[in-house]
């Protein structure tokens, strides 16, 4: 074979090899892009799934918090709508402390208590409670009891005397007034504590002075 023919064959083979290399490179690039694209798709899907799970957990948490708050509100509503429990006492008839004339009072008293169980417990202390209330009324004058302020003071004093047999001592009105002037916060705390006592208030069902 002449040198010219050999050069011609080499020239034909060179482009073919170049084309094959180019095809292989293109195929490899396509494959690489396919793998990379698939990985990107998988990554994006995983990220989206994680974000969706996080959002769902957050919604569940918010829903739980909302549920707890709603339950707490319902519980408070139920507490507010609990009907009061009253323990009526037999009417008191007592001579008053008037010096100018013989005066007496007939007073009907009802105790508002914390619950029915407390009402049953108070009945065990009833003799001591009635004794304390009778002594309290016997030290009052008709003038004191005829005034609205006098009746309000009497209600507070009856409550205090009714609690004493149960081992609970409340401060008298003078002490409460002094505490309010000196330390309002302490007086407020004392008032709040008093609301949690077995006897919540005193109601008058009748009030006759003669």
Query: Does the pLDDT value for residue 42 go beyond 60?
Result: no
CA distance 141 to 139: 7
User: Highest-confidence range of 13-17, 20-24, 97-101, 177-181, by mean pLDDT?
Assistant: 97-101
Q: Rounded to two decimals, what is the model's pTM?
A: 0.56
* 192 pLDDT above the threshold of 50: no
Q: What percent of the chain has pLDDT over 90?
A: 46
Give the mean pLDDT of the chain.
75
Inform me whether the pLDDT recorded for 6 exceeds 60: no
Burial 121-146 (b: 16+ CB within 10 A, else e): ebeebeeebbebbeebbeebbbebbe
């Amino acid at each position: 074979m002449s040198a010219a023919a050999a050069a011609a064959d080499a020239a034909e083979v060179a482009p073919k090899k170049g084309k094959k290399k180019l095809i292989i490179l293109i195929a490899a690039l396509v494959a690489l892009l396919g793998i990379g694209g698939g990985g990107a798709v998988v990554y994006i899907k995983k990220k989206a799934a994680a974000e969706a799970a996080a959002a769902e957990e957050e919604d569940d948490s918010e829903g739980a918090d909302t549920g707890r708050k709603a339950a707490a509100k319902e519980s408070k509503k139920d507490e507010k709508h609990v009907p009061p429990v009253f323990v009526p006492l037999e009417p008191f008839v007592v001579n008053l402390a008037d010096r100018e004339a013989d005066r007496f009072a007939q007073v009907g008293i009802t105790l508002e208590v914390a619950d029915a169980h407390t009402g049953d417990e108070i009945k065990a202390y009833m003799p001591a409670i009635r004794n304390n209330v009778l002594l309290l009324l016997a030290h009052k004058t008709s003038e004191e009891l005829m005034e609205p302020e006098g009746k309000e003071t009497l209600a507070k004093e009856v409550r205090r005397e009714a609690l004493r047999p149960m081992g609970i001592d409340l401060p008298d009105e003078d002490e409460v007034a002094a505490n309010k002037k000196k330390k309002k916060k302490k007086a407020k705390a004392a008032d709040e504590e008093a609301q949690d006592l077995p006897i919540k208030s005193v109601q008058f069902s009748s009030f006759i002075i003669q």
